[in-house]
């Protein structure tokens, strides 16, 4: 009986079509996302539920639902918080200065989980402003990181541009006194074109040595560029509101992959589209947990006989310690401090 069952099973396995999976590395969580999620979990441990979180702590519904189940309450604005004795955590994307001021006015205990690499961009913008420059921000309108960066400076001193056409149309700027900063999660190639457009129109513009695109965005895009041209299809695991995940899908398409899909979970995969594929690349945005990559791999394994190869294009060992208020007091002296970005730390091209 057992022998019959196992021969049926192996017959079934033989019937599955073969599929090569190229798994991008690095993929998934970056150091800023790990820190932000840890911040919420640590706040829940220290202060007990509920702990409020302004905006999705990172752009991933699975992560957000998991934290809700542990006692986090997500709000979009501080005036939705009824109990000001409980802490509120600001998301990894950063917030305008007005939000810090509002928390102070209402005496709300705010814990800032802004990624230190976003904070670095805020400091760059502030430094330019302090030196009397107008600032141009390259980014996507409405994204919380962009809202946060725009909110570091008074209105009128920072201008958002999204396309080279926006650069051409920019008016009312002091051409001899300009600087630029960028969103951290943009496409590397698009940003290069934007910077070229800025330098063409404003030859004296000052900017960072490299764009402000972070290491995690860069590494994930490079891995996709390696894999996308050699596979029939690419899957990017991530949320549709995750900027870096959306960019990974675009990068896959632009690198020559005819079918690139962004999916949150296995149930979102349109299996019909993959039925004739002989190779698929898989990556994950910086806010997508590895458990969802595994879920999708398992769903492929149910339908195909897999041959999995990991393609690694960079090693990552970046770690950011928790926000100060959440560090265990006994260990504080042993932990590296959060990077404090002094003027000399902000690399500015042309100075």
Cβ 160 to ligand SF4 shortest distance, Å: 18
Cβ 183 to ligand SF4 shortest distance, Å: 9
**Which of 42, 184, 239, 245 contacts ligand SF4 by CB under 6 A?**
184
Q: Which of 83, 100, 99 minimizes the C-alpha distance to 47?
A: 83
Cβ 287 to ligand SF4 shortest distance, Å: 8
Which range binds ligand SF4 by CB under 6 A, 76-84, 113-121, 159-167, 289-297?
113-121
225: which 2 tokens?
A: 């560029």
Q: Which of 107, 111, 103, 153 minimizes the C-alpha distance to 128?
A: 153
239 binds ligand SF4 (CB under 6 A): no
**Which of 26, 28, 32, 139 contacts ligand SF4 by CB under 6 A?**
32
**Cβ(28)–Cβ(224) under 8 Å?**
no
Q: Which of 153, 150, 100 minimizes the C-alpha distance to 129?
A: 153
Distance between CA 24 and CA 21 in Å, rounded? 10
Window 246-265: residues binding ligand SF4 (CB under 6 A): none
Distance between CA 347 and CA 124 in Å, rounded? 8
Smaller CB distance to ligand SF4: residue 32 or 281? 32
235 binds ligand SF4 (CB under 6 A): no
**Which of 115, 153, 288, 322 contacts ligand SF4 by CB under 6 A?**
115
3-state secondary structure (DSSP) of residue 10: helix
Rg (CA), the chain: 23
**Which of 178, 282, 284, 286 contacts ligand SF4 by CB under 6 A?**
286
**Which of 118, 147, 150, 262 contacts ligand SF4 by CB under 6 A?**
118
**Which of 19, 23, 24, 33 contacts ligand SF4 by CB under 6 A?**
33
31 binds ligand SF4 (CB under 6 A): yes
110 binds ligand SF4 (CB under 6 A): no
244 binds ligand SF4 (CB under 6 A): yes
Distances (CA, A) of 132 to 158, 177, 332: 12, 7, 37
Q: How far, in whole angstroms, is CA 49 from its chain's centroid?
A: 26
152: which 2 tokens?
A: 């570091």
Catalytic annotation, pick one of 145, 302, 316, 347: 145
Q: Residue 186 has what DSSP assignment?
A: S
**Which of 42, 187, 191, 217 contacts ligand SF4 by CB under 6 A?**
217
Window 64-103: residues binding ligand SF4 (CB under 6 A): 92
Distance between CA 324 and CA 110 in Å, rounded? 11
Residue nearest ligand SF4 by beta-carbon distance: 32
| Residue 107: HSE in the Cβ half-sphere, 13 Å Cα cutoff | 3
185 binds ligand SF4 (CB under 6 A): yes
Strands (E), the chain: 18-25, 51-54, 72-75, 88-90, 110-112, 134-138, 158-161, 178-182, 207-208, 233-237, 259-263, 279-284, 305-312, 348-349
Q: Is 145 a catalytic residue?
A: yes
214 binds ligand SF4 (CB under 6 A): yes
Which range binds ligand SF4 by CB under 6 A, 48-56, 110-118, 158-166, 273-281?
110-118
Q: Known catalytic residues?
A: 145
Binding site for ligand SF4 (CB under 6 A): 30-33, 92, 115, 117-118, 184-185, 214, 216-217, 244, 286
């Amino acid at each position: 009986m057992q022998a019959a069952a196992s021969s049926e099973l192996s017959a079934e396995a033989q019937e599955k079509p073969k599929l090569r999976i190229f798994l991008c590395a690095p993929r998934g969580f970056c150091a800023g996302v790990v820190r932000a999620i840890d911040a919420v979990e640590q706040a829940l441990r220290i202060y007990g539920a509920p702990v409020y979180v302004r905006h999705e702590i990172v752009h991933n519904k699975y992560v957000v639902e998991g934290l809700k189940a542990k006692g986090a309450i997500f709000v979009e604005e501080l005036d939705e918080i009824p109990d000001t004795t409980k802490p509120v955590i600001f998301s990894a994307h950063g917030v305008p200065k007005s939000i810090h001021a509002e928390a102070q006015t209402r005496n709300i205990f705010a814990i800032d989980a802004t990624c230190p690499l976003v904070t670095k961009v805020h400091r760059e913008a502030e430094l330019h402003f302090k030196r009397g420059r107008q600032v141009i921000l390259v980014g996507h309108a409405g994204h919380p990181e962009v809202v946060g960066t725009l909110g570091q400076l008074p209105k009128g001193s920072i201008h958002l541009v999204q396309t080279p056409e926006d650069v051409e149309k920019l008016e009312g700027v002091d051409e001899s006194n300009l600087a630029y900063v960028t969103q951290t999660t943009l496409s590397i190639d698009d940003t290069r074109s934007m910077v070229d457009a800025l330098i063409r129109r404003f030859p004296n513009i000052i900017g960072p040595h490299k764009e402000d695109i972070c290491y995690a965005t860069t590494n994930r895009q490079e891995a996709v560029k390696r894999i996308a041209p050699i596979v029939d299809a690419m899957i990017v695991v991530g949320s549709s509101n995750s900027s870096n995940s959306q960019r990974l899908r675009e990068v896959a398409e632009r690198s020559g992959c005819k079918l690139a899909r962004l999916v949150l979970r296995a149930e979102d995969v349109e299996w019909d589209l993959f039925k004739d594929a002989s190779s698929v690349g898989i990556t994950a945005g910086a806010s997508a947990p590895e458990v969802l990559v595994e879920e999708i791999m398992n769903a492929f394994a149910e339908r195909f006989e897999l041959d999995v190869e990991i393609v690694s294009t960079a090693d990552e060992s970046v770690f950011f310690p928790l926000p100060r208020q959440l560090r265990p007091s006994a260990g504080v002296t042993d932990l590296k401090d959060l990077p404090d970005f002094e003027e000399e730390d902000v690399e500015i091209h042309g100075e």
